[in-house]
Structure 1
Amino acid sequence: MKIMMNSGTVLPFFQMRRRLCDNLTEKGYEITVSGYTEVSKELLKQYKADYVYIPLSRVGINPVQDLKVFRTYYKKMKREKYEIVHSYTAKPNIYGSIAAKYAGIRRIYPTVNGLGYAFTDVDTGKLKAKFVRFMVSLLYKWGFSCATKVFFQNKDDARELIRRKIIDKRKCVLISGSGIELEAYPYSECFVTPMVFLTATRLLVTKGVREFCEAARIVKRKYPGAVFRLAGALDDNPDSISQRELNYYVKEGIIQYLGEVSDMPSVLKNCSVFVLPSFYREGIPHVILEAMSVGRAVITTDSPGCRETVRRTDDTGKGKNGFLIPVKDSQILAEKMIWMIEHTDRVKEMGKESRRYAEERFDVEMVNKVMLETMEI
């Protein structure tokens, strides 16, 4: 039995879907993974997987390039005759699903792990943004018409595409993000002296990096001893924070920049509160699940995907394990940070609640169980 799993960047794919690959191997499936990044032979050997390079460009719509992507998928699928095709991210979901249908594969399961920049409320009044959203909507409709079922990581994305008549709601299956390996991110007691706020993400404007830095500036006026750490790599995306802007915040002493980190459990263990003020159309941000598993209070936005990670107690955005805040509002973000500095006992309790919530809803084994049952594996 063979399954093809289509993604973009391969290392994050294996990091977040390691247990799913293990489950498939245990059930006798031969796995082929596709993507557009380099991958080591050691990694493929570890996961008992083959690899096929797909000439994807991460952003933009280029008919010539995208046709090459479709043909690469189609040739591989036609030759190997996979029983199942399972995809993640926009272009693999679209072109992988269409190619699978034309190749005669009957079990096709895309996963919507966020609707991405095309559906993010940035420059929505501009003609180019409207055109991109229109084209992406058409392509999604075509791709999902080929699918058996489509996994969604949050309710908002499913509702959006149903409302736009891009997908039939009977095809939608809701899952709790990619899930989190609880044992890989063990609980650790939260320290609050000094209070350390951490953001870890791609350094994009839409990920709320600028709001985090501006909120840190506000907080430091009242509590100069508070620590603000930023982890993540600069990106070639046009939406990326510039090196110059990053250097400005570092030189001013507002943030400590950690760069791209390889040991996230340790980085999370050494923070008090995790912050992600994103307004990007997330699935459910895996990094928030990692922080919850470690036992950290969360401040994030009341936006699709992010809002799933805070257990609300009222309509003000306050939750048992943290706060939901409006998007693009560094002032309110600063107010919630100050609240946490002034209520350290509550921060510790919120961290414990984060771990409980991760165990109850986001355990990767529960997520994989739903997916495997849906795919009839």
Structure 2
Amino acid sequence: MRILIIENGYKDLVNSRFPLGSYLEQNGNTVIYACPNPEKDSEVLSLNVSRNKTSFFLLVSSILKLIRIEKNKKVDTVVSFRFTSNLLNYFSSFFGIKKKRIGVITGLGIAFVSNTTKNKILQTIITLFYNLAKKRLIIVAQNPDDLLDLGISRGHVILGSGISGPKYQNLLAKDSQTLNLLFVGRLLKSKGIVSAVDVIKKLQLRNNKIKLIIAGYIDPNNPDSVSNDYLEEIKTSQGVEYLSYVENMNEVYSRSDILLFPSVYREGVPRTIIESLSYGLTIITKDMPGCRETVLNNGIITKNNFTEEAVNYIETLTDMKISSNKQESISLFKTKFSEKVIFPKYSKIIIDK
């Protein structure tokens, strides 16, 4: 079978779709990839799938190019990830020989978090699209809430994209005298950076052997980003270790104890949480779709005030409880989110007739 995988960005393609493609190839399939602006020395096909700016002419041009790719590469099955890719997949289905098509919803984004006028319009458009698309695409969501919110009753749920887990652990001898909290992500208000910093500020008033590690960066093109002035304040805050963007997170996860994930952004199942589970971190997150599936007895889901509930929980933690949480997190990762569990589920939908 010749399978085409479409992503919105080259980095996501490499990190999340190449491993799935390799798994499919091990089972005798040929996998072709397409995304916007691939690296020149890669074999990835260029397909303009902008996640931010989609004009009518750009959309038509991309649909026509996708149709040509499918024909020239003799594609049997098209698998698309994220909204714009799914849009192209849907419109391409009206042309050429009928193919198997899968559209994967990797989260509903910020549009489904607040009910501003703009977001209500976006919610209507997205819901209408997926209810049309389900007639021509097999719909896969990465958490059950997304299907419910879209009113789709016959879709599939696969929890996340699947990762292999730690390549190695304990790269550095952890300082057992310090409790290390971790925040990972762009420094956006919707991602919860302000709440995470407020947590360490409150904890530092009572215990200076607690530290917050921040692996993230300002997004200057995003109006939701914190300011440069706020970033400078973060850098000089007591108990904060600011790393900016980190390419390889292995060492950072290895020396962390607790993930703070106060995001309200609607992801499928946040990759950061899955990676943290694989390293045995305690998880503190909000009661959000995709996050709910990641916490059992290995942390807490905050219901109201993230900062207060996180501080109260952290202050009750003992070494024994942190150790117990570690085992629970690793077990949860292995049974629900590992690529050994997730890839066969994608393969079954993609390959089965």
Name the TM-score, length of structure 2 as normaliser: 0.91
TM-superposed CA distance for 1:27, in Å, is 2.7
| Separation of aligned partners in 2, 1:6 and 1:228 | 36
Deviations 1:147-166 (A, max 9, x none): 0x22211111111112xxxx
2:182 pairs, out of 198, 205, 212, with 198
2:134 paired residue number: 144
Matched, 1:25 2:37: no
Q: How many residues of Structure 1 are paired with residues of Structure 2 in the alignment?
A: 350
Percent of paired sites with the same residue: 23
1:178 pairs, out of 161, 167, 172, with 161
Q: Which amino acid aligns with 1:193?
A: Q
1:112 pairs, out of 105, 116, 126, with 105
Shifted more, 360-369 versus 91-100: the winner is 91-100
TM-superposed CA distance for 1:232, in Å, is 1.9
Q: Give yes or no for contact 1:208–1:328 (8 Å, CA) kept in 2.
A: no
1:81 paired residue number: 74
2:65 pairs, out of 69, 72, 75, with 72
Q: Give yes or no for contact 1:192–1:272 (8 Å, CA) kept in 2.
A: no
CA separation of 1:214/1:52 partners in 2, compared to 1, >3 Å: closer, same or farther?
Answer: same
Q: How large is the Cα RMSD of the aligned pairs? A: 2.3
Q: Give yes or no for contact 2:286–2:306 (8 Å, CA) kept in 1.
A: no
1:217 pairs, out of 201, 221, 230, with 201
| Separation of aligned partners in 1, 2:241 and 2:170 | 24
The within-5 A match list for 1:222-237 is 222-235=206-219, 236-237=221-222
Q: Which amino acid aligns with 2:162?
A: G
CA separation of 1:199/1:260 partners in 2, compared to 1, >3 Å: closer, same or farther?
Answer: same
CA separation of 1:82/1:251 partners in 2, compared to 1, >3 Å: closer, same or farther?
Answer: same
| Separation of aligned partners in 2, 1:62 and 1:104 | 27
| Separation of aligned partners in 1, 2:232 and 2:198 | 14
| Separation of aligned partners in 1, 2:349 and 2:170 | 31
TM-superposed CA distance for 1:244, in Å, is 2.4
Q: Give yes or no for contact 2:5–2:17 (8 Å, CA) kept in 1.
A: no
| Separation of aligned partners in 2, 1:10 and 1:353 | 33
TM-superposed CA distance for 1:57, in Å, is 2.6
Deviations 1:297-352 (A, max 9, x none): 111111100111001xxxxxxxx111111366322222223333xx2221121011
Q: Which amino acid aligns with 2:330?
A: R
Q: Which amino acid aligns with 1:55?
A: N
1:96 pairs, out of 46, 66, 89, with 89
Q: Which amino acid aligns with 2:160?
A: G
CA separation of 1:246/1:183 partners in 2, compared to 1, >3 Å: closer, same or farther?
Answer: closer
Q: Which amino acid aligns with 1:332?
A: E
CA separation of 1:15/1:53 partners in 2, compared to 1, >3 Å: closer, same or farther?
Answer: same
| Separation of aligned partners in 1, 2:37 and 2:162 | 23
TM-superposed CA distance for 1:183, in Å, is 5.0
Q: Give yes or no for contact 1:192–1:344 (8 Å, CA) kept in 2.
A: no
Structure (1 or 2) with the greater helix fraction: 1
CA separation of 1:256/1:356 partners in 2, compared to 1, >3 Å: closer, same or farther?
Answer: same
Q: Which amino acid aligns with 1:176?
A: L
Deviations 1:260-302 (A, max 9, x none): 1122111100111112111111111111111111111111111
TM-superposed CA distance for 1:240, in Å, is 2.2
Shifted more, 183-192 versus 65-74: the winner is 183-192
CA separation of 1:4/1:358 partners in 2, compared to 1, >3 Å: closer, same or farther?
Answer: same
Q: Give yes or no for contact 1:282–1:304 (8 Å, CA) kept in 2.
A: yes
Matched, 1:332 2:309: yes
Q: Which amino acid aligns with 1:138?
A: L
1:2 paired residue number: 2
1:305 paired residue number: 290
Q: Which runs of 5+ in 2 are unaligned?
A: none
